[in-house]
Amino acid sequence: MKRLSILIIILTCFACNLYAETYWIAPKGKASAKGTEDDPFPSIQAALKQAGASNIFIFQPGNYVGQQITVTAEYAGTPQQPTVLKSQYKYKAVLHGSPTHNIYVRKGCNWVIIDGFESSGAGYTGIKSDADFTVMRNCRIHNNALQGIEAHGVRGLVLENNIVEYNGENPQFSHGIYADGDGLTIRNNIIRFNSGWGLHLYPKIANSKIESNLIYGNQRWGIGLYSKSDVGSNRIVNNTIVYNGAGVGIRNAHKEIIVNNIIVNNTGWIFEKAGPIHNIDTKIFKESDALIDYNLCVPAFRGAGLHGLSADPLFLDARKGVFYLKAGSPAIGKGSKEYAPRRDFFNRKRPIDKAPDLGCFPYEPYLLSPEARKDWYYQWPFVFKGHSETMPDLWELPEVTPP
């Protein structure tokens, strides 16, 4: 209950920030600035030095090139008033080309929220935190030299609604998200086309939730999870994990829950002979290792559980990276209500009177209409430089007439 209370505080932080001040930052701000919207600071360091912790810092649109945004312990927030770094408009504050990390939250700088940035071209990691209770949300993190996101040995980390793509230069040491600790929540992210693992949860993770993520096209494992020995208790639920080098690999498994996932055609890494869900230590899961059930796996998985399936999930257009479920999908209504997250990928409350769909995307007929993707470039969910300069908002449910 204590962890749950902490996460509730994180998610309602803006409501709690009743006494925080708001300060503004812009690429061409002045050193003598007052930090207002019309007279913004030139950097977060200048803003923090004058304003201090537990305030809201809004980054105006523009390119913030070659500088590392570092937040140290003296600027830690509190559960009631976190320190907030926020792009004024989603993806419009562009952090690029730091020789190390574009954003670095140092150890002891707890209760920091990072919201809405684009982070690319860092010499190491796009966004890194060594602090507890960091929230990273609504960011697009891509083409960084090592990881997209990194956080080790932390408590209460929340990663949600991020696009983490094209990160890394090495299939062994570079990953989309590289994290471990206690009480982590990794949900509603799109993690694709990274050099190593999509999610590399190493060296030890416990009491954490990995839910409602789309993880595809990563060169190695979709999820590699190294559970904390004799603690474990991690939940991998309602994820769509497809076309990675391998599916889900667990080491030191103990009381893990792997339920309601779609794990399909993860066979790209020719040096790894593994099933969709794989016990790295012993190859076979014991009853005390993990509860595995209600998953749709291709190829068929012998340990999929009583309610496990093996069939074509009927994605709308996997070739273009559109993994919505078509009508007639065997994944519709085949999940367990007991383990499903309370909210779906689009942050809507799940109906309590029916079984959930498998995977991260609930079946919605209107998502199948081309009109639902009218702002995508030729129906592809990506940025195409020179053609479409804006990343589609893949969490926005469009208002269209159902087909």
Place of tokens 């982590």: 184
| pLDDT, average across residues 108-129 | 98
In a domain, 69, yes or no: yes
**Would 343 be classed as within a structural domain?**
no
* Any domain includes 311: no
Count of domains for the chain: 1
Q: CA dist 107 to 79, 84, 131, 151, Å?
A: 17, 16, 5, 10
pLDDT tens for 338-370 read: 999 999 999 999 988 899 999 999 999 999 999
Q: How many helices (H) and strands (E) does the chain have?
A: 3, 32
Mean pLDDT within 209-223: 97
Q: Report the distance separating Cα 257 and Cα 291, nearest Å.
A: 5
Q: How far apart are CA 194 and CA 46, in angstroms?
A: 34
Q: Which domain holds residue 76?
A: 2-167
Is 41 part of a structural domain of the chain? yes
Q: What is the pLDDT of residue 16?
A: 53
Q: Which of 117, 19, 121 is CA-nearest to residue 61?
A: 117
Q: What is the pLDDT of residues 95-105, one digit of tens each?
A: 999 999 999 99
State the pLDDT confidence band at 268, using cuts at 50, 70 and 90.
confident
Domain assignment present for residue 121? The answer is: yes
Residue type, 314: L
Summarize the confidence of residues 242-267 as an average pLDDT: 96
Q: Answer yes or no: is 378 within a domain.
A: no
Handedness of CA 57, 82, 360, 261 (dihedral sign): positive
94 to each of 40, 70, 126, 161, 176, how far by Cα in Å? 16, 16, 11, 17, 19
Does position 372 have pLDDT exceeding 70, yes or no?
A: yes
Please report the sign of the dihedral spanned by the C-alpha atoms of residue 12, residue 15, residue 17, residue 23.
positive
Q: How many CA atoms lie within 13 A of 381 on its CB side?
A: 23
Report pLDDT digits (tens) over 199-208. Answer: 999 999 999 9
pLDDT of residue 30 exceeding 50: yes
Asked whether the beta carbons of 244 and 220 are under 8 A apart, the reply is: yes
Residue 307 lies in a domain: no
What pLDDT shows up at residue 270?
Answer: 77
Q: What is the mean pLDDT of the chain?
A: 92
pLDDT at 303: 85
Q: Where are the alpha helices (DSSP H) in 131-197?
A: none
Q: What is the pLDDT averaged over residues 124-153?
A: 98
| CA gap 46, 69 in Å, rounded | 11
Q: Grade residue 147 by pLDDT with cuts at 50, 70 and 90.
A: very high
pTM: 0.94
Q: What is the pLDDT of residues 38-93, one digit of tens each?
A: 999 999 999 999 999 999 999 999 999 988 999 999 999 999 999 999 999 999 99
Range 377-389 average pLDDT: 90
Q: Residue 227: what residue type?
A: S
On whether the CB atoms of residues 342 and 350 are closer than 8 A, the answer is yes
- Inside any domain, residue 195: no
Q: What is the CATH number of the domain that holds 62?
A: 2.160.20.10
